[in-house]
Chains A and B, each alone.
Chain A
Amino acid sequence: EIVLTQSPGTLSLSPGERATLSCRASQSVSGSQLAWHQQKPGQAPRLLIYGASNRATGIPDRFSGSGSGTDFALTISRLEPEDFAVYYCQQYDRAPYSFGQGTKVEI
């Protein structure tokens, strides 16, 4: 089973700042089958990034994903007020298709 560990647990930043979120896997994730989802309070999650670095449809280019193997990152180049949310990484290389515990980006 692949365990995903996200850091930090909470990131306190201001609008306009850069955010870098980390996701570390306990085993190599082959084919970069790693996704990032965003969830705002009271809402369903939304896919941001798939294949480690591909933006989903309609996702602004201030969101970028990187990494391979066991180390992945989500970068938000300039935080907008609507970006304050919880972010989850998920591996879909092999079952169980685990999620990280989440990183909360707060003001």
Chain B
Amino acid sequence: QVQLVESGGGVVQPGGSLRLSCAASGFSFSGYGMHWVRQAPGMGLEWLTFLTQDGSYKEDADSVKGRFTVSRDNSKNTLYLQMTGLTVEDTAVYYCMTQVAVGYWGQGTLVTVSS
């Protein structure tokens, strides 16, 4: 069955960095664009970034431009999110998702930015 499994979350100090991974299985990962979405505690969903199937084109939300970088390794069926310059406002559950019309979501990984 289709699975998206995020990992790499944890507690990090302000100004720190973290790399999230999203491992895909049960579908043709290399055939789909992928998104990262986050949800701060008690808040709604915030779209962050999108990467095309082959990794050649991406789009970023203003809130993460210059700080977060999305990438993928289709040979490993894995999507990544490199996060730098983290602030307390980046505390959230981070989800990966396939292109919207396909709509597979991972279960999320919690990132806590705290001193």
Interface contact A90-B108, CB-CB below 8 Å: no
Do most interface residues of chain B lie in helix, strand or loop, or is the interface mixed? loop
* Cross-interface CB contact of B100 among A46, A90, A100, cutoff 8 Å: A90
Interface contact A99-B105, CB-CB below 8 Å: no
* Cross-interface CB contact of B45 among A47, A56, A88, A95, cutoff 8 Å: A88
Separation of A33 and B103 alpha carbons in the complex (Å): 13
Number of A-B contacts (CB under 8 A): 60
A96 part of interface (Cβ distance < 8 Å): yes
Interface contact A92-B95, CB-CB below 8 Å: no
A42-56 CB mask vs B (1 if < 8 Å, else 0) is: 001111001100001
B41 part of interface (Cβ distance < 8 Å): no
B80-108 CB mask vs A (1 if < 8 Å, else 0) is: 00000000000000010001111111111
Separation of A50 and B45 alpha carbons in the complex (Å): 17
**Residues B26-53 near A (CB distance < 8 A):** 35, 37, 44-47, 50
Question: Given A44-B95, A45-B45, A102-B44, A97–B35 Cβ distance below 8 Å?
Answer: yes
The 5 lowest CB-CB distance pairs between A and B, nearest first, are: A47-B103, A95-B59, A92-B100, A50-B101, A99-B45
Q: Show 24 A/B contacts (Cβ-Cβ < 8 Å), sorted by A.
A: A33-B100, A33-B101, A35-B100, A35-B103, A39-B45, A44-B105, A44-B108, A46-B105, A47-B102, A47-B104, A50-B103, A90-B47, A92-B99, A95-B60, A96-B62, A97-B47, A97-B59, A97-B100, A98-B47, A99-B37, A99-B44, A100-B44, A102-B44, A102-B45
